[in-house]
Structure 1
Amino acid sequence: MSPTPSTTTTPSTTQWNTRNLGLRLGADVASAATAGILVAPIITAIDKAIIENASGRQTLGLSLRDSLTTFLTRPHQFIVSKPFALIFALYAGTYVTANLLDTSASTVKGKPATTTTSGPAKFIATSSANLSLCLYKDSRFAKLFGAATSTLRAIPGPSYALFAIRDCLTVFASFNVPPLIAPYMPLSQGMQQHISTASAAQFVAPAAVQLISTPLHLLGLDLYNRDGNLGWRERVSKVRMDWLKSSFARMARIVPAFGVGGVVNTGVRRSLMKRLE
């Protein structure tokens, strides 16, 4: 009787995708920088206007006009300014974190370089980057453009906590919600010839969440700008008074930041990665 041949089972392993890995990492940085420098001017102007309006230094309109005048007449001065650098670092840093996470996932899982991810890992990574950079930016902007009587005070802890919740809501709506709501976007076939459901969701989700997050932002600023002994009724009244116009202003900054910026970052990265696959 001939012996029965034995069968050896080899555990399946995933082949890492390391093709052009160095260039892919460079593409992640280049995509993030392109999106960051594109959206930084308008966001710098809007953030400055919201804080100056909340502190009583200038109205939204006057502050935006001043920033626009500087940008058009002295663009070099605007671009090398500290506020511009803070905003560029904030959004380029957030985009590159998301990009590097996607490249890490495609490398380890052996997937194409154009692969993008969505889930808890991406939310935690992008939230951590955005939160740390944004809290630093907010503290600097509050001191640069806040009430003259408060610029020597430290930012109170509750303000940081409110800013943190605000940013987590925005990041979640910007990176995790769009893939979930894209299949349900009510776009006709004619509209989809001009804009995809994914791009539409990328604009709608982060803008809509500002109606919820803006009161947190305004309350955090008020805790810094005005004496800590004020009652909550007075603070809520101030927030209510500025809520609607500030919400629309923050929508106007979020659409470039995570709408236009998100689409540009994704589009540039996809284009570069296709060439490297």
Structure 2
Amino acid sequence: MKNSDASPSSPAAASLALQGSGSTVWNTKNLGSRLGVDAISAASAASMVAPLIAMIDRSVMENASGRSSLASSIASSLRTLITRPHTFLFSKPTALIFLVYGSTYLMANTVDTSSSTLNNRPASSITAGTAKFAASSAANIGIGIYKDQVFVRLFGPPGAVPRAVPLPGYTLFAARDCLTIFASFNVPPILGPYLDSHFSNEVKARMSGLSTAQFLAPAAVQFISTPMHLLGLDLYNRPSTGAATVNMRDRWDAVRRNWTISAFARIGRIVPAFGIGGVVNTKVRRSLMAKLE
């Protein structure tokens, strides 16, 4: 008795024939819609975190330049957000933060979709490979450098002309951001299953290992990346030129004094950016992709 599903003209038979002949089978089902989901997920996550990060970045910049204290700057931003929300939400600083993190999430999502397509895996699958790290790092660092230049002009010392960041400073900032990207996109898919295997059923009912890892990993890595951040800032703030030579012992003393408090301050910024944002991006993408599989 013939099986109609295995007829020469059926899709199943065609797929089996391709696999049997050694041809590559790609998962192109709803590919256009899946790319749209990648963009929607990235935009949803970036929209949630951009206002808060814009406040924090502005306050840090204004505090460093002497324009305002951290508390006063954040209070001013909150007043604007409450009394004139459209002014704050559609401002250049908020738009730049949205661009930085929206692009970072989008690149990570696109790599996941490319991998699921080329490896014939479910649309909602995620990766933790080198391609994802490289693509998301390139987007975050490239656009982030432009954002930093604009923020300096907007919130730096009044009338001051920003000088160029020295090459070692750029290198340190790039290494800092690469560590954060790696901890945000590559570590959670690896760490999540490990945490799940050690969570009790009661804990699993409240949180998943992946969501927990998306908060813990980018926060924990700040204790490693913060010295890079502080040294890069010191190279910019205290240029070693002519008679004003600053030796490395002096620079490391400055880094050591501010290491702990700066690490916690950066955690306060990174957790919204890659903890909350990462969870929102992952959950929105997984939910929408499941409908397309």
Same fold (TM over 0.5): yes
Alignment of 1:173-252 (within 5 A): 173-185=183-195, 187-228=199-240, 229=244, 231-232=246-247, 233-252=249-268
For residues 130 and 152 of structure 1, do their structure 2 counterparts lie closer, same or farther at Cα, with a shift above 3 Å needed? closer
Deviations 1:195-222 (CA, angstroms, capped at 9, x unpaired) = 1111101100000111121232233233
C-alpha distance in 1, partners of 2:228/2:218?
15
C-alpha distance in 2, partners of 1:137/1:272?
31
- SS of 2:191's partner is helix
How far is 1:10 from its partner? 5.5
- SS of 2:103's partner is helix
Aligned to 2:291: 275
- SS of 2:291's partner is helix
- SS of 1:276's partner is coil
2:281 counterpart of 1:265: yes
Deviations 1:141-173 (CA, angstroms, capped at 9, x unpaired) = 233323447533223322211110110010011
How far is 1:237 from its partner? 4.3
- Give the TM-score, by structure 1 length: 0.88
C-alpha distance in 2, partners of 1:215/1:276?
44
**Number of equivalences:** 269
Would you say the 8 A contact 2:126–2:189 is kept in 1? no
C-alpha distance in 1, partners of 2:211/2:20?
43
Identity %: 56
2:152 counterpart of 1:137: no
> In structure 1, what residue type is equivalent to 2:107?
T
Highest relative contact order (Cα 8 Å, sep 6+), 1 or 2? 1
> In structure 2, what residue type is equivalent to 1:275?
K
Aligned to 1:4: none
C-alpha distance in 2, partners of 1:242/1:51?
17
C-alpha distance in 2, partners of 1:262/1:94?
10
Would you say the 8 A contact 1:146–1:225 is kept in 2? no
Would you say the 8 A contact 2:127–2:189 is kept in 1? no
C-alpha distance in 2, partners of 1:261/1:142?
25
For residues 271 and 183 of structure 1, do their structure 2 counterparts lie closer, same or farther at Cα, with a shift above 3 Å needed? closer
Would you say the 8 A contact 1:142–1:221 is kept in 2? no
Moved more, 66-75 or 116-125: 66-75
C-alpha distance in 1, partners of 2:85/2:178?
32
C-alpha distance in 2, partners of 1:172/1:83?
25
C-alpha distance in 1, partners of 2:52/2:141?
20
C-alpha distance in 1, partners of 2:34/2:192?
27
> In structure 2, what residue type is equivalent to 1:102?
D
The answer for unaligned runs of 5 or more in structure 2 is 1-18
How far is 1:46 from its partner? 1.2
Question: Which of 53, 57, 75 is the matching residue for 1:43?
Answer: 53
2:94 counterpart of 1:66: no
Alignment of 1:53-202 (within 5 A): 53-148=63-158, 150-185=160-195, 187-202=199-214
How far is 1:179 from its partner? 2.2
- SS of 1:113's partner is coil
How far is 1:191 from its partner? 2.0
The answer for unaligned runs of 5 or more in structure 1 is 1-8
C-alpha distance in 1, partners of 2:154/2:233?
13
> In structure 1, what residue type is equivalent to 2:79?
T
Would you say the 8 A contact 1:91–1:257 is kept in 2? yes
